[in-house]
Structure 1
Amino acid sequence: MESAIKTLVTTFLSSTKGKDSLDNKSFKKLVQKQLGGMMKDTNNSAAINEMQEGLDANSDGKVSFQEYLTLIGYLANSLSQHECESNGTAS
């Protein structure tokens, strides 16, 4: 678990290139490079822009670490539900 958390943090930090948040280009690159196997439409710029806007809680045009964690939480929850359904343990 520690390794997974460290990976989440270092992935975000390396994607920001020393800044405190992801701009449009950095967010798109992170989604395409790191999440293409889990998400649909990672090659669709409009879909990525829409996702970024949905995550951007403070409407500053960037994705902060907290906003990034919202995306990670959503993906983890979706994966968990999918795994439960696959194993027949969904309620």
Structure 2
Amino acid sequence: MSSQLEGAMETLISVFHTYSAREGDKHKLSRRELKDLLQNELGEYLETQKDASTVDKIMKELDENGDGEVDFQEFVILVASLTVACNAFFCEGS
């Protein structure tokens, strides 16, 4: 039986690969795959549906190696940054 944190890590990996496997390189997110992931998995945290340029901005910031795709390491940076921001927000409210 895995711990809560191990389960969270498995979920993070699974979600990434669910979207990255849809087209092209199965180990990277294309712009369309990233957009789908953001809308479906992080829609309440990001207003991607209302601003089409948001995905482009996020893609540009995440794509450290400039290959036009987001690999798992770049994706984890996004999730970690959002998690830190959410923690700060929820800590301020308590």
Q: How does the TM-score come out when normalised to structure 2?
A: 0.87
Partner of 1:15 in structure 2?
A: 19
Identity over the aligned pairs, expressed in percent? Answer: 30
The equivalent residue for 1:45 is 52
Q: Once superposed, what is the RMSD of the aligned Cα atoms?
A: 1.0
What is the CA-CA distance between 1:54 and the residue it aligns to? 0.5
C-alpha contact 2:31 2:55 (8 A) present in aligned 1? no
1:40-87 Cα shifts (integer Å, max 9, x gaps)? x21122111111111000010000000000100111100110111011
- State the alpha-carbon separation in 1 of the partners of residues 65 and 59 from structure 2: 12
Q: In the comparison of the two structures, how many residue pairs are matched?
A: 86
1:6 is the counterpart of 2:15: no
Deviating above 3 A after TM superposition, structure 1's stretches of 4 or more consecutive aligned residues are none
Q: CA deviation at 1:37?
A: 1.2
Please state how far the C-alpha of 1:36 moved relative to its aligned partner.
0.3
1:69 partnered with 2:76:
yes
Cα distance between partner residues in 1 of 2:92 and 2:36: 31
What is the TM-score normalised by the length of structure 1? 0.89
Q: Structure 1 unaligned runs (5+)?
A: none
C-alpha separation between the residues in 2 aligned to 1:69 and 1:9? Answer: 9
**Is 2:64 the counterpart of 1:57?**
yes
- Partner amino acid, structure 2, of 1:12: F
- Secondary structure of 2:68's aligned partner: coil
CA-CA distance at 1:3 after TM superposition: 1.3
